[in-house]
Structure 1
Amino acid sequence: MNASIIDPLQGDFPEVIEEYLEHGVMKCIAFNRRGTLVAAGCSDGSCVIWDFDTRGVAKVLRDKDCVAAITSVCWSKYGHRILVSVADKSLILWDVVKGEKISRTTLQQTPLKVYLHPGCSTPSVCLACPLSSAPLIVDLNSGEKTVLPVSLSDAGNDPAPPLRNKFSDGSAPFTPTAACFNKCGDLIYVGNSKGEILVIDFKTLQIRGIIPIPGGAVIKNIVFSRNGQYLLTNSNDRTLRIYDNFLPLRDGLKTLDELLHNSEEEDELGKLKAVGSKCLTLLGAFQDSITKVHWKAPCFSGDCEWVIGGSASKGEHKIYIWDRAGHLVKILEGPKEAIIDLAWHPVHPIVLSVSLTGMVYIWAKDYTENWSAFAPDFKELEENEEYVEREDEFDLMPEAEKVKEFDVDEDEEVDIMAVEKDSTFSDSDMSQEEICFLPADPTPDTPEQQDKCVGDSNQTESPLSGEAGQNGMPLSHASSALEAVENSAAEENGGSRLKRKRKPSEKILEVQEETMKKPTQKSIISSKSSKTKNKY
């Protein structure tokens, strides 16, 4: 769609279901960084990769040992690898181009969400969020697992703190399930059941800051925006909260160390909370004050201007859209099927929603074209109006008052090969190694299909065969396929080459001989005129 003819006041968010994707029973989805490919995890353990431009299946990743449902899908930074978490407590890393399994790792708990490390083009380290235990750092090559601290009591000098059955104060153990990397991957943000966000150093696993959530509700989801500037949380109090990230994207860990060093608090907990208050600042909260619904799969738009959340109510396919200020701008209502997962396109105002039945719905914008953008002097009318011309509207204008036409250099070379950089992506995100599309991999026919095709071809007569002619008439034995090709070539050459001549029949020869013997009318007239002249 041409952006110049789109009304800018419409709002750049989806409005209607454009179409849907169907391939088995899909459970979760994820776009690659450019939005050209979509990976969907299915209930049979397979991972389907869709070409989003053509809406066709580009590749299917299937492990014969995996038959359980996939719970989450994650792309690597440049699209070379895909990591899936499976309900059978396993993690499978795939090579996207080759379609081969790189590694398979088994956990003690079922992983609900996985994230590949964003700081490497071909990562082998991931962050896993199990069902009822602390998040883990997993080395997919060696299978080594490291438990992240979920409270200040768990963080110590030991780089791999063990899980505790109870805390020092006798309270119940934490069951955090929310964690994510920041944009560069040097920090991990962990949410616990006490309503706190812990900022953890990825290398040392030390807590560098604590941000308490208002109300102290259990944090179910933590999502960073694409540019790393905003953070979104989903809590058990049925509220989505958006935070502004004040840490720099590159040297966030260095900034945290400086804040800790300059802190005036003597207590360690107070010092971490003071640092956390300078890391994240609450911008707004989103909730439905009427229905008080729980939220599922919240995420940001590609340009970070909008926030969406799916209704967790059964039999309800509703998507709520807010702006960053917290104002509700749209409610999308789909079929009567519960929402399982949501994903916003990185570039375009398109949202994918996965229903309980396993179908993926594509929500797109219903554009209203603004044709007056081509000529600002034009006025768009809602209905026909009688036009009254001005008195001097069609008067001849002198040459001096005419607007000078814009000079166009017709000899200037136009570059049709260079690709303009998209303002959505920063220079650091651009890479020549990134995979945006997958080559077509046609499936060969089975022997039964080949035999069927051969049988059909034997029964079907070719137009150039000796048994079938034009208009259903049989060709003579002399009219071969080569003759037909020569005749068509003669017609293409503009008649410069004549078609092959047929031998005339005996009847035609007799008619031609009689015609030659009979004198024409012109010769008879000329003979009569000569006799008249001789007479006189």
Structure 2
Amino acid sequence: LVFIACRSPLAPPTPTLGGVPVASAVSFHPFGSIAIGHADGQVLLWNFYSRMGSESGTIKPSPEAVLAAHARQVTALDWSQCGRMLLSSSVDGCVRLWSLRGARPTLSATINCGDLVVDAQICHSTDEQMLACALTCSGKALLLELDLLGGRSEIATTVECADSLPVGTCAVPCVALVFSSLSSHLFLASALGGISRISLESPLGQDRRGPAPSSTPSILASLPPAVKVRQLRISRDGRLLLVNSSDKTLRVFPISTACPGEALRSSPGRVTSRGPTTSARDVASAVVQESWPWMKPAGLDHGKEISHGCDCTSPCLELKNEVEGEQWKDCCFAQALSRAETVVAVGAGLYQWDLSGTLIAHATSCPNGALRIASTPRHDHFLLVCPERGPAQFWAPARQLEDGFPSLQRLIENAEYEEREDEFDL
């Protein structure tokens, strides 16, 4: 992959993936490569860690591979933990599994879900079988059994949210899903605002997982009335659940890992929204300079922590978009250079909070707007922003760019070069 230097008024020159259509889905490979899905149904695979190639910087970047994955827009992409399999879903109703073991990607399995698929994720995989979950437009969460050896792939079962059970035959639609970091549980969000957890500890067969027949979904959290869940995200260590909701608020729920039967832990304390003190401001500036120098420290603290004695269905942190007054378009967990977990969200601008709720840094606006955001699964501190128009953009600390892309400075110098009138006079 050849990166092109891009001048931005908000940041030092950063590499971009130029010459590609608008991205509709993005996923980082566990070891750094990127899969980007587009509205035309294609999936482009980019080698994130290759050198920048041409010294002149005039060659446009080209993908490592192009998958003619679907007939219509790609809605979700997900890598397996080993990084050798890629799951893709589309509004054409198909979920497809791609093998990247050989020199060229090959199609391993296809399942027609019979409805528009809005999200899909890989749960558990072996050398022969893979378990995944697909979310359809009608609100059905389908567990999929994918045969990696060319055998039959099928829909194993339909999973319902916990708040669907009392309704009887009228199941409440699911609107978001995410697997735990160890693939031991599936988290589902319903249209009523409830977040359910389903155990996947009971094996369907040898080395396979599926919902335990005797276990019923349990409600972990409930949002306020008329508030709907838009996205669910899990932190890298699997201890935090990030919820993006329709009331312009991000909520972080701590997930207990000490006891399998314990749903959520009570949070340590409540801190109301406040302006940072002098010491807090200094700390925020130090964090910004260390981890995200291209951002500027924020003047307000948007975060709120929940007090002692709260019930287990309360969030430990709430982040409301009061500045822009708009819904968050996307969110994710990311790590600073100090390897501390942070929450990143994108609206009109790019925002970053620490887990105490302090808005430590932000970029006032993203060029061309932003639709998707993703962070590297490794500790390389890169953020990939897919704008509403134009090429995908990398955001990273300036120091990290110099270390990760040794040819970047040469490209910047070439882009800024202007010939002097007497430069070549003898």
What is the aligned counterpart of 1:204 among 204, 207, 212? 212
* Alignment equivalent of 2:33, drawn from 14, 30, 37: 37
Whether the 8 Å CA contact 2:250–2:318 is kept in 1: the answer is yes
Rounded to whole Å, the distance in 2 between the matches of 1:67 and 1:335 is 30
Q: 1:182 to 1:122 in 2, by over 3 A?
A: farther
Structure 2 CA distance for aligned equivalents of residues 209 and 151 of structure 1: 6
> Is the contact made by 1:211 and 1:277 (CA closer than 8 Å) also made in structure 2?
no
- The 5-angstrom pairing of residues 14-33 of structure 1 reads 16=12, 18-25=14-21, 26-33=23-30
- Tell whether 2:234 aligns with 1:224: yes
Is 1:73 the counterpart of 2:74? The answer is no
Q: 1:135-174 alignment to 2 at 5 Å?
A: 135-141=141-147, 142-154=153-165, 166=170, 174=172
Query: Residues 18 and 135 from structure 1, CA distance in 2 versus in 1: closer, same or farther, beyond 3 angstroms?
Result: same
Alpha-carbon deviation of 1:297? 2.1
Q: What residue number does 2:368 align with?
A: 337
For residue 196 of structure 1, report the CA deviation from its aligned partner.
Answer: 1.4
- Residues 143 and 57 (structure 1), Cα distance of their counterparts in 2 relative to 1, 3 Å cut: farther
Residue identity matched to 2:370: I
Measured at CA, do residues 100 and 328 of structure 1 come closer, stay the same or move farther in structure 2, by a change above 3 Å? same
Cα-to-partner distance string for 1:121-154 (whole Å, 9 max, x where unaligned): 7752211122231322112332224211123453
Give SS of 2:329's match.
Answer: strand
1:282 counterpart SS class: coil
**Partner of 2:68: helix, strand, or coil?**
coil
Aligned length: 314
C-alpha contact 1:39 1:73 (8 A) present in aligned 2? yes
Matched-pair contact (CA < 8 Å) for 2:221–2:314: no
What's the secondary structure of 2:257's corresponding residue?
coil
The corresponding residue for 2:342 is: 306
Q: Does 1:88 align with 2:92?
A: yes
Contact 1:244–1:281 at 8 Å: present in 2 too?
Answer: no
TM-score (norm 2): 0.67
Q: What letter is aligned with 1:174?
A: V
CA displacement at 1:112 relative to structure 2: 1.6
Cα distance in 2 for partners of 1:228, 1:42 equals 29
What residue in structure 2 maps to residue 411 of structure 1? none
**2:321 is matched with which residue?**
288
Question: What is the aligned partner in structure 1 of residue 387 from structure 2?
Answer: 355
Give the 5 Å matches for 1:413-492.
Answer: none
Q: Distance in 1 between matches of 2:154 and 2:62?
A: 32
Amino acid in structure 2 at the alignment position of 1:285: E
More helix by share: 1
Tell me the amino acid that sits aligned with residue 326 of structure 1.
G
User: Cα–Cα, structure 1 residues 23 and 127, in superposed 2: closer, same or farther, change >3 Å?
Assistant: farther
Q: Does structure 1 retain, via aligned residues, the 8 Å contact 2:163–2:219?
A: no
Aligned to 1:50: 46
Match among 173, 176, 179 for residue 178 of structure 1: 176
Match of 1:270 in 2: none
When residues 321 and 256 of structure 1 are mapped into structure 2, their CA distance, relative to the original with a 3 A threshold, is: closer
Structure 2 CA distance for aligned equivalents of residues 178 and 325 of structure 1:
26
Separation (CA, whole Å) in 2 of partners of 1:194 and 1:182: 22
State the 1:31 CA deviation.
0.8
Please say if residues 83 and 93 of structure 1, whose CA atoms lie closer than 8 Å, have aligned partners that are also in contact: yes
Alignment of 1:113-152 (within 5 A): 113-118=119-124, 120=126, 124-141=130-147, 142-152=153-163
Kept after mapping to 1: 8 A contact 2:160/2:174: no
CA distance in 2, matches of 1:137, 1:16: 44
SS for the counterpart of 2:95 is strand
Q: Distance in 1 between matches of 2:257 and 2:370?
A: 34
Whole-angstrom CA distance in 2 between matches of 1:165 and 1:355? 41
How far the C-alpha of 1:277 sits from its partner, in A, is: 5.3
Change beyond 3 A, Cα 1:15–1:136 = farther
Contact 2:198 2:217 (C-alpha < 8 Å) held by counterparts: yes
Measure the CA separation in 1 of the matches of 2:127 and 2:330: 26
Say if 1:92 and 1:101, in contact at 8 Å, map to a contact too: yes
Look up the equivalent residue of 1:204 and give its one-letter code: A
Distance 1:212 1:117, change over 3 A: closer
Identity %: 19
Looking at structure 1, the residues matched to 138 and 27 of structure 2 have their Cα atoms a distance apart, in angstroms, of 24
Instruction: Give the 3-state SS of the residue equivalent to 2:395 in structure 1.
Output: strand
Where does structure 2 lack aligned partners over 5 or more consecutive residues?
1-9, 53-60, 148-152, 201-210, 266-309, 401-426
State the 1:41 CA deviation: 1.0
- Name the amino acid aligned to 1:47: V
The amino acid that maps onto 2:188 is: V
Q: Secondary structure at the match of 1:177?
A: strand
Q: 1:21 to 1:80 in 2, by over 3 A?
A: same
Measure, in 2, the Cα distance between the counterparts of 1:358 and 1:146. 40
Q: Distance in 1 between matches of 2:115 and 2:328?
A: 24
Write the distance in 1 (CA, Å) between the matches of 2:229 and 2:110.
29
Give structure 1 regions of 4+ aligned residues with deviation exceeding 6 angstroms. Answer: none
How many angstroms apart in 2 are the aligned matches of 1:74 and 1:84? 7
Give distance in 2, aligned partners of 1:225 and 1:304.
11
Deviation at 1:110, TM superposition (A): 1.5
Offset at residue 222 of structure 1 (A): 1.0
- Residue identity opposite 2:178 in structure 1: C
SS of alignment partner, residue 140 of structure 1: strand
Contact 2:30–2:81 (Cα < 8 Å) also in 1: yes
CA deviation map 1:175-228 (0-9, x unaligned)? 322111111112111111222111112222633531233424211111100110
- Give the whole-Å Cα distance in 2 for the aligned partners of 1:15 and 1:362: 11
RMSD between aligned residues: 3.0
Q: Is the 8 A contact 1:27 1:341 kept in 2?
A: yes
Residue 395 of structure 2 aligns with an amino acid whose one-letter code is: W
